[in-house]
Amino acid sequence: MFKNFITNNRKFKPTDPEYQQVYLINSMLLGMVVVFTFFFFVNLALFSLYAVALLDFIAAALAATLLRRFQVSNNVRQGANYTVLLLAVFLLGYYGFTGPEFYSLIWLSLFPPLAFFLLGRRRGLITTVIFLSLLAILLGWRASLWPDGSVSSEAVLNVGLATLCLTLLVHYYEVSRQHVFRALATQHRQLQRLSVTDTLTGLYNRIKLDNILSHEIARSIRHSSPFSVILADLDFFKAINDNFGHMAGDQALMSFSGILQQYCRELDVAGRWGGEEFLIICPHTDLTGAKLLAERIRAAVEHYSFAHGKQLTVSLGVACFIRDDDASTILKRADDALYRAKGKGRNRVEM
């Protein structure tokens, strides 16, 4: 029940980037309602501090109103702003009414971390500086009105320095945290890219091609739009490895991947299917369009000067999606067409 409330009836989940902010906003506002209500009764019944009790009552009512508003609106940025503003106004109003006492100055330590965590490093720092500046002006203006001995200058100075140190520490923590998050985000993007990329050619790997193929089949069924696949296999590739070494073979594969990237359209997806075999997925393309693309690739390879000096050719098999196809059946037809191209002398396109 409490967890539902603290996450706005589960509208925010732990995987959401705003989850921690939502948790903190709800916790702070609920805590303010409880604390301000408690001090309202204490100041009213025990100490007869009616002005302070009225301030506590107003703060509790505002906190409850903001909490309810945030539960309905789910506006995280607005909720963060209002939470920080409420705490700032209450502290300034409290010290303006009563003057600082040593125990009450301790509440200043809440403001810097709350501002940084809810508003971010830059806005949190600006807000904290503005708040502390207003507080210093207020204390200087009201100092002559406080009873003698109600507060010592040493207490104010110590608490002020402690709050300044806390602000700097929280700022340093936020800077470090952002650096860590950026580094983790960069590593995450690199790992995501590596997980779907063939390390040698830079094209998509078989895992990614399987996912894209499944997506294209679902899209084609849903929208009744055509798509085709092309399987390409470099002819006599084993002879390159045997005669010139595996480095020459790797260079040939990288050169061929460059040809694919050059001749494929933006909507086409090319990847390494395995060994010297490559797959091209052609969305919104019928059999005729896919055959034209395959012929352009075949001609480009035939006239390309590979690094090892030996001329290479490529055989290609083309298949178009049929309504009852799944990934295995369309790839089987493309593979059959590729083997026909190999059987008819290589360096050709078959459909």
Q: What confidence tier does 299 reach under pLDDT thresholds 50, 70, 90?
A: very high
Q: Of the ranges 24-38, 43-57, 79-93, 333-347, which one carries the lowest mean pLDDT score? A: 43-57
Pick the more confident residue, 170 or 104. 170
Pick the catalytic residue from 276, 277, 295, 302: 276
pLDDT recorded at residue 150: 55
CB 156 within 8 A of CB 101: no
Residue 100 has pLDDT above 70, yes or no: no
CA distance 155 to 158: 5
Q: Residue range 249-271: average pLDDT? A: 90
Active site residue 276: yes
Which domains does the chain possess? 2-192 (no CATH), 206-350 (3.30.70.270)
Outline where 264-321 has alpha helix (H): 287-302
**Is 70 exceeded by the pLDDT of residue 133?**
yes
pLDDT of the residue at 185: 83
In 3-state terms, what secondary structure has residue 127? helix
The count of other CB atoms within 10 Å of the CB of residue 72 is 9
CA within 13 Å, CB half, 197: 12
DSSP letters for 136-192 = HHHHHHHGGGSPTTSS-HHHHHHHHHHHHHHHHHHHHHHHHHHHHHHHHHHHHHHHH
pLDDT at 260: 92
pLDDT digits (tens, 9 = 90+) for 164-186: 888 888 888 888 878 888 888 88
- What does the pLDDT average to over 251-257? 90
Choose between 95 and 219: higher pLDDT.
219
The span from the CA of 334 to the CA of 277, in Å, is: 12
Mean pLDDT, residues 278-306: 92
Tokens 């001090």 sit at which residue? 39
CA distance 235 to 14: 52
